């Protein structure tokens, strides 16, 4: 969570969590990270706050849907998974505060770079580390449609 590199990775099937709706939501998050990366490279501070707002809404929706699907298939580690999601929900509150703190242009761009790196790092580590644990369970137990 400390890197300030601004690199968006495309979603790929290698990080599939085993459910098409969740993969689609994760892909949406990666796509929005790529949009923000482009915005920062253009030095377009005016668009950044709105794009992060959209990113956080999409991420929050993805977490909610994932929890509902895990609950629907009686995933035994659901409570632990929700606790981990709650950690990033607290990060989202902090990220929103940072973005809304009335920065000047240069500070906002620096803040955007930092938050982009932190979201990207959290997302990749979470999908590859924690979400990967439920993938075999999701493949065999989940409903096919999103809840
Ligand atoms: Fe998750």
Span of 14-18, 50-54, 78-82 with lowest mean pLDDT = 14-18
Question: Quick one: pLDDT at residue 145?
Answer: 60
Q: What are the structure tokens assigned to 110, written together?
A: 């620096």
Question: Quick one: pLDDT at residue 144?
Answer: 64
Determine if residue 30 is left, alpha or beta; phi over 0 gives left, psi from -120 to 50 gives alpha, anything else beta.
alpha
pLDDT band at residue 3 under the 50/70/90 scheme: very low
Domain-embedded: residue 15: no
Distance (Å, whole) CA 95 – CA 89: 10
pLDDT in tens, 28-53: 999 999 999 999 999 998 899 999 99
CA of 43 from ligand 1 middle (Å) equals: 32
CA of 125 from ligand 1 middle (Å) equals: 10
Distance (Å, whole) CA 133 – CA 9: 21
Q: Is the pLDDT of residue 141 over 60?
A: yes
Domain that holds residue 135: 27-141
Q: What are the structure tokens assigned to 72, written together?
A: 């629907």
Distance (Å, whole) CA 122 – CA 57: 16
CA of 33 from ligand 1 middle (Å) equals: 18
Domain-embedded: residue 146: no
Helix and strand totals (H; E) in the chain:
5, 0
Domain-embedded: residue 5: no
Q: What are the structure tokens assigned to 68, written together?
A: 């509902």
Q: Is the pLDDT of residue 76 over 80?
A: yes
Counting the structural domains of the chain, the total is: 1
Region 127-134 average pLDDT: 93
CA of 115 from ligand 1 middle (Å) equals: 19
Write the CATH number for 122: 1.20.120.50
Q: Is the pLDDT of residue 103 over 80?
A: no
CA of 97 from ligand 1 middle (Å) equals: 23
Domain-embedded: residue 6: no
Domain-embedded: residue 20: no
Domain-embedded: residue 22: no
CA of 102 from ligand 1 middle (Å) equals: 32
Span of 64-73, 74-83, 91-100, 133-142 with lowest mean pLDDT = 133-142
């Amino acid at each position: 969570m400390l890197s300030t590199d601004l690199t968006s990775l495309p979603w790929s099937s290698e990080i599939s969590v085993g459910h098409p709706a969740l993969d689609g939501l994760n892909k949406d998050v990666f796509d929005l990270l790529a949009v923000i990366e482009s915005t920062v490279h253009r030095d377009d501070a005016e668009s950044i706050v709105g794009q992060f707002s959209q990113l956080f809404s999409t991420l929050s929706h993805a977490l909610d849907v994932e929890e509902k699907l895990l609950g629907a298939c009686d995933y035994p580690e659901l409570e632990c998974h929700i606790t981990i999601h709650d950690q990033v929900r607290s990060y989202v509150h902090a990220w929103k505060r940072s973005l809304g703190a009335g920065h000047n242009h240069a500070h906002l761009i620096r803040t955007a770079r930092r938050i982009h790196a932190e979201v990207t790092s959290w997302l990749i580590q979470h999908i590859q580390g924690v979400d990967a644990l439920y993938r075999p369970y999701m493949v065999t137990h989940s409903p096919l449609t999103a809840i």
